[in-house]
Each structure stands twice: as structure tokens, then as C-alpha cells.
Structure 1
Amino acid sequence: MFGAISTACLYPLETEKALSELLKQGVRRFEVFANCESEFSDSFTKEILAMVKSYGAKICSVHLYTCGLEPFMFFSNYKRRFDDAAEHYKHYFERAAFLGASDVVFHGDRKDSTLPHDIFCERFAVLAEIARAEGVALAQENVARCRSGKIETIKEMKKSLGKDVRFVLDVKQALRAGVDPIDMCDAMGENIDCVHISDSTEEHDCLLPGQGSYDFKSLISHLKSFGFNGPLTIEVYRCNYKVYSELYDSLRFINSLLQ
């Protein structure tokens, strides 16, 4: 288990500038949040990979800017749109694998969707297989506004898809859905590939780790019980801190918990 930072923490700073800032400050494990289509071009991803390699760093996961469109792209009644979108995501998967990422983060269907669960799982399985063929895992994140924000959905996905479904556990998203992150962790179990970590208080559900009162030791203990050995990736919003030094202090805090 190790600490990492998402480039999304520096948004709207351009992705390559965010990555450069983090690298210069000694960060060596990342999630890259790609914010537009051109950031999946061959030239841009080659630039990013060269930058990362020059520091001996690693990109653990890639987050797609199209996540908000996924209900429309993949979970409507129009199959041809699904087929076209799946082909489009194939390119994202290929570029993510090129960058050395293990996972591509997926938000999926909206929580008020009427799509039957078996069809939802069937379509996820198709996308997951395309991702595997390109060399990455499609990792379903628990998101409060999505179907995946419910523990029942996560359990049903595991039951239907078994080891073929991988998960991203997001602490703040669990809190926003009214779910204890520990309970969400238990539901995902050994299928967790990544963790999006943030702190909280009774008044605020998204703070930098170390600036709130969340019990990280219990969460880390639960993760260890499932054999998790992946990234604890800090993912907060730019409004959640004032200066970059706070971000780096937070990473040191996470790493201190893992020693």
C-alpha cells in the first residue's frame, strides 16, 4: 500500500502542468485525470509518459473526463450508441495501458436508472473485457449520484461478475451517499484496485487527509484484511486547500500511516 495524488487535485491547471508540479515536489505515484479529448492523443500521452519516466515515477490509474456521459453512452436503450461508445473507450484503454496504468476509473449508470441490473452488468462485462484486451482493468467507482453509490449495487456486481469486476473505493463519495466507507470497503472486498482518499469532519465531507477526523487506521486495517496493496490516492477539489504545500503535507501524512 502506498500514497499517491490525483492530478485532479490541481484542476483546472492543465494536466501536464499539474503532473510537472507534482513530480518536481517529489510525488512519484499518480492518478492522471484526463480533461479533454486531445489528452488521449498519441503525441500528448508520449509527452506525459516521457515526463513520468524521467522521474522514475508511475501512473497507477487514469480517470476519464467523459465519466459524466457514461449513462447516456452505455446504459440507454440505443444499442448502436453503446457499440460506438465502446469502440471509443477502446482507444482510451489503449492509451491508459501505454501510460503504464493498471486501471481506468468508471462511473457508470445514474442512480435513478430503470435499466435492469442484469443488462447493466452485461454491458459492464463487455467494456471490462475490451479493457482487459488492451491491458488495463475497468474499475467501477462508488459515486453518490450513480447506481454504484449503493452498497446493494456493488454486492450485486460482485455476485454477477465475480473477479471480473474491479472497484475504486472513494471515501468522500461513500459519505455523500450516506454510506460508511468501511461498509463500502467490506462490500467491495478483495476486488478493490484503488482507493480515493480524503478526510472529513461533521461539517465537511471532503478535506485533505490529516485535516479532519476520519479514522484512516480502521480503513487501512480493513483494506489489509482483503489483501489490498494498491494506491491510496488523494483526490480532493482545488477549493479544499489553499496552497500546494498542504497537498504534499497530506501525502506525507498518508505515508506516515503506512509505515
Structure 2
Amino acid sequence: MRTSIATVCLSGTLEAKLHASAAAGFDGVEIFEPDLIASPRSPEQIRELADSLGLTLDLYQPFRDLEGVGPDQFADNLRRARHKFELMGRLGIETMLVCSNVATATVDDDELAAEQLRQLGELAAEHGTRIAYEALAWGRYVNTYEHAWRLVRRAAHPNVGTCLDSFHILSRGGDPRGIEDIPAEKIFFVQLADAPQLSMDVLSWSRHHRVFPGQGSWDLPSFLAHLMRAGYTGPVSLEVFNDTFRQTDVGRTAVDAMRSLRWLQEHAAARLGNTEAPVPLLRLPAVEDPTGIDFVEIRGRAGVERIEDMLAALGFTYAGTHRSKSVRLWELGQARIVVNDADTQDGRPVVAAIGFVVDDPQRSAARAGELGAPSVPRRSEADEQVLQAVRAPDTTEIFFCSRTNAWTSEFSVKPGDERATRAARPEDGADSHVDHVNLDQPWQRQDEGLLFLSAVLSLDPQPSLDVASPLGLVRSQVMRSADGAVRLALNVAPPMARQSVGSHPGIGQVQHVAISCPDLIGLARRARDRGLEFLPVPANYYDDLAARFDLPAQTLATLRELNLLYDRDDRGEFYHLYTPTVGEVFLEIVQRTDGYDGYGAPNAPVRLAAQLATLLD
């Protein structure tokens, strides 16, 4: 499949956009007219640059407000078009996008509109170009792809075809199955964009909230499958208007865009089943979903001793130091925390890496590489496991681990290591595992992170949630495997919540690791006896809890005594507690009963307020 991207998707100059598109692996680009107008290079120089980069210039856009106008206005429209066709000749572009009229149309007459499209087609033919007519979702008289196709068919000119844009079709709730009824030779161009499902006017939705395929709510794999069944063989291009993309690094955004098209091709091929596509669709190395979290690494130069003190108090067993690295392993049942003394950007502890259990680490790494994930070099001695790892958009290192856990044999307790004296009770570790990990996301990277986790690890996005903190709303979205064995929450904190308080990060600029255990009350009591103080919960919370749930008085007293939080859904109950924050990390211990599947979201505002109070104390 030939891939293309509109320059409007990217930040920077036109020249920078061309370089980034080529580096990301695109075959071609659409030239968005304002980018050309603002460029100091001549059309010939832009054409030469694209040629040198191996890019085709696939479309010039947009030409607006052509049809449905009176004779004088239409004559002026043809004058404008003539200039654009001449310019396209200098650029070497053969197709121009013509949008349905939204501003100057005064006549709702299909016969007139088709005739005006035919005349424009005649002019295009004189210049060796053609026009792709697109129905804008907010077009005055023409706002559906079916209507646009009827006008193209009625114009009956070889240089007049249609452009199909997923946003304009799906935002109006259109049925894309009708695409299969359009002759492939009359589909001159295809533009794709995904979007979150929002309730707002369609123009604002379009101008500010489009995202790349796989980052929104729409079924774009089925959309592409309909195009393939129609026999379309031309470029499939991304046209995404997004406020974030226009102000973030152009190279990273282009890689994210290409990742979305690779993900899309794989899923569209699955939708096609045994139907053969008219063009080859990329098929990535097939992998099974990860079956669990093997380990979480906490890294930092200052403060990791406190992390280890908390782990010991919680009942983790010290499994030793790595034979060749300044790294230590702590275990509680199947939950493994690796503590690394390596430096971080500001020295504070962070969640630096997560290891996922997969069937074939080499295949998973190969898939990630084809999706543009940069590999993470890892120094290994001759007798050590070679672990495959890539870097996620938020810089977290993603390791692909086998089920054997052979890497743990590289850790041993050295003589005289005082950590070995902190023996845990056997009951502490029974059936414990990493329940989920919360990762702080830069505001401009959450959509990229969601697509990355979906494409690389086959995790499914859950509905997003806004959580109230004292300093604004935290936007949270969980990615999880189908069976819930792997759960990652990506959180974007508001600007005020990300500001540091003294030497501490803001309440939103933190990450945490949640450990599941079968007896939270027992574990909490033993941890308290070992000297661990939990995040203090205000008394008002327990007064409200008594009103929300009909809990036995003794249960409520125990929750209050141990600073435990509680939630319940129609399937089960959820108990959890939090440790103090060290650097940018804190721990959560959870207990799920009878199929509870949430994360205690009603308690999150209380936790965030308590963390802020602790920072300000």
C-alpha cells in the first residue's frame, strides 16, 4: 500500500516536514497550500527536494468553494483554478483536492454543481491534471460522500473523481460500506483520520481533535477494508488537524504517523479475511498478547535506599545483586522489583523499565522494530541473558521476557549484604504479582503512547477518565490485555500538578507500581509493625465511606486504622493503600475480591489531595 501524509499533520517548515516524512518511511506527501505559500523555496525547488528524498508529491490541497455559485462567481473560480493548475505543473502534482462549497454556494442544484465540476475537469485536462472532489462534513449543500459521488458520476468527466475522507464520513455517522459501490478508477484519493468520540460541532471537532488511526474511537481497519474491496490502489494518506501535533517534534510525529498506518494495514488485512487486497498490505510479525508483567525497574541515584526499605517492610524478599551491574532484585511471590542505582535526569527514582512475559521475545522485538520503536542497548556478559528491549514514547524501556525467568539466576546475595537479614514471612508472598503500573505521560505524548502500546503489545484501550486533583484534572486511560493480566494506566496531569514542590515532584508528575496480594489487611499490619507508614487518609473519607457503603463497623474501623481505601462494584470489592512518594515513585498494594475489575477510581481524588498535603507539610 502506498502511504502518504498531508504536511498539515506536522510542525515546522515545509522542508522539515518533507525530511521527516521521508525519514519515517512515507512514499509521498500532500502539499497543504499554506505550507507552500510560507516556504522560501520555489515550487521547482520543492519538487527537486522531494525527488531527492524519494517522495512523490501526491496531492495539492485545498481548493475551496467551487460549485453551486452564479456565473460571475464561477468564472472567477475557474480563473483561480487555472493559476493552481499551473502551479501544480511546476510542482509535478497531478491531483488537486476540491472541497464541497461551504461559504459561497447559493444554488442547491445538483445539475448545476455537476456541470461546474465537469467544466473544471475540462480545464484540469488542459493542464494534465485531475480533481478529486470531497464532501466536507459541514458542506452547505454537499456534505456526504454519497452525494459527492452522485455529482462526480453526473459530471461524467475522466478528470473528475472523488476523494474519500474518513473523518467527513464517520463524523456524520455515515456507512462506509457504500464505498464498495464506487468504481475504483473514480476514487482519485483517500485521506484518513481517526478521532475521539466527542459531542461538539463537527467543524471544531475536525480542526482540533483528529488523531492518527488507532488513537481514536473509529473502526478504521474496516474503513480501509471497504476501500480494498472496492479495488482502490492509490495512495492512502493521513490528513490530521491536531493542535498537539502542530507543536511537537516533527520527526517523532512522523514516526508515530507511520506506525499508525502499519498498525492499520495489519488490522485491515484481518478484516478482509480471505479476500485478497488489490495492493499488498503490510503484515507484521504475529505475536500473542503478553501474559503478565515479569518485573518493574525503579532507577535513580538518590533515594533508592528508601524504596528498598519500603519493599522490605512490605514483605519483599531480597534476592540479591546482579553479578555485573549495580542492580538489585526484590521479590514478593511473582512480583519482581529491580532497583537500579544508575542515574536519571535529575537523580530521583523513576519507573524506568517494565518487563513483559511474551511467548517469543525475538519476534516481539522484531515487531516493535517494524513499528518504529527504537531499540535499547543493554550490556551483557557472555554468560548472561540477552534481553530484548525497546523504548516507549515516554522513554520507559519495554523488555520482552520469556516465561523461564532465566535472568533472575544472575542475582545472588553477596556475603555481608545487610539486606539479606530482612527476611519476609512466607505469608507475605503468597499469590502476589504486579497488578498494574501507572505511568506519567508528557501532555503531548499520551496519544502516541496509546498507539504504541496497542501496536507493539496488542493492549486494548479502555474508556478514558478524568480524575479531579486539587490542582486540576488528571486524564487517565488504561491499556490492558484481554484477560487483565497486563494493565498499564497512562496519566496526563494538568500543568499546575506537574510543578515541583520544593525538592519533590508535583502530585501528577509521579508513577506508581501496584502489587496485588490476597490478604491486604494482614500485609498492612505486618508492614506497619516493621515501621512503614502509609499515605495518611483524612477522617472525612471514612465518614463518607460509611454513608456510601453499608460496611460493618469493625471493617470500617480496620480501614481507618490502617489508612486503607475501599471501593465496590457489582462484582466484587477492592481494598488498597499507598506508600509515601520517593522521587517520582510510590507503591500501591491492592486486593481484588470476587471479580472486581476497576482501580478504585472514586478514591483517586482523595489520594491526590493526600499526596499534595504531604508535600506541603
User: Which of 188-197 and 48-57 deviates more?
Assistant: 188-197
Report what 2:154 is aligned to: 160
Write the letter of the residue equivalent to 2:220: F
Distance 1:37 1:29, change over 3 A: closer
Amino acid across the alignment from 2:225: S
Matched, 1:23 2:22: yes
- The residue that corresponds to 1:47 in the other structure is 45
- Greater CA drift, 115-124 or 31-40: 31-40
Asked if residue 109 in structure 1 is aligned to residue 104 in structure 2, the reply is no
Using the TM superposition, give the Cα deviation of residue 129 of structure 1 relative to its aligned residue in structure 2, in angstroms. Answer: 1.4
Indicate whether 1:172 and 2:179 are aligned. no
Structure 1 residue runs of 5 or longer lacking an equivalent are none
Would you say the 8 A contact 1:151–1:184 is kept in 2? no
Query: 1:35-184 counterparts in 2 under 5 A?
Result: 35=34, 38=37, 44-64=42-62, 66-67=63-64, 70-71=65-66, 74-77=67-70, 79-110=71-102, 113-146=106-139, 147-162=141-156, 164=158, 165-180=160-175, 182-183=176-177
1:30 match: secondary structure: strand
Q: Structure 2 vs 1, CA of residues 240 and 171 (structure 1 numbering), >3 Å: closer, same or farther?
A: farther
Taking a change above 3 Å as real, the CA distance of residues 143 and 188 of structure 1, as seen in their structure-2 partners, is farther
Q: What fraction of aligned residue pairs are identical, expressed as a percent?
A: 22
Distance 1:152 1:114 in 2: 19
Matched, 1:223 2:227: yes
| Matched letter for residue 222 of structure 2 | S
TM-score (norm 2): 0.37
Q: Report the alpha carbon displacement of residue 57 of structure 1 after superposing the two structures with TM.
A: 1.4
CA contact (8 A) 2:6 2:237 kept: yes
- Residues 82 and 158 (structure 1 numbering): CA distance in 2 closer, same or farther, change over 3 Å? closer
Q: What's the CA shift for 1:93?
A: 1.4
Question: What SS is found at the alignment partner of 1:251?
Answer: helix
Q: Post-superposition shift, 1:28?
A: 3.3
Deviation at 1:101, TM superposition (A): 2.1
Question: Offset at 1:237?
Answer: 1.6
- For 2:37 and 2:195, how far apart are their aligned partners in 1? 35
Q: Could you tell me whether the CA contact under 8 Å between 1:198 and 1:235 is conserved in 2?
A: yes
* More moved, 164-173 vs 103-112: 103-112
Q: 1:62 offset after TM fit, Å?
A: 0.8
**CA pair 132-240 structure 1, distance change in 2 beyond 3 A:** farther
Which digits, 9 at most, give the CA deviation of each residue in 1:212-250, with x for residues without a partner?
343333222211222211111111123254544244223
- Which consecutive unaligned segments of at least 5 residues does structure 2 have? 199-204, 266-280, 283-617
Equivalent residue letter for 1:249: D
**Partner secondary structure for residue 142 of structure 2:** helix
Query: Amino acid of the residue matched to residue 149 of structure 1?
Result: N
2:537 aligns to what?
none
User: Which consecutive segments of 4 or more residues in structure 1 shift more than 6 A?
Assistant: none
More helix by proportion, 1 or 2?
Answer: 1
- By how many angstroms is 1:40 displaced? 10
CA contact (8 A) 1:234 1:251 kept: no
> Structure 1 length normalisation: TM-score?
0.83
Cα shift at 1:38? 4.5
Q: In angstroms, what is the RMSD of aligned CA positions?
A: 2.9
- CA change 1:177–1:97 in 2 (3 A) is farther
Per residue, is there more strand in 1 or in 2?
2
SS in 2 for 1:239: coil
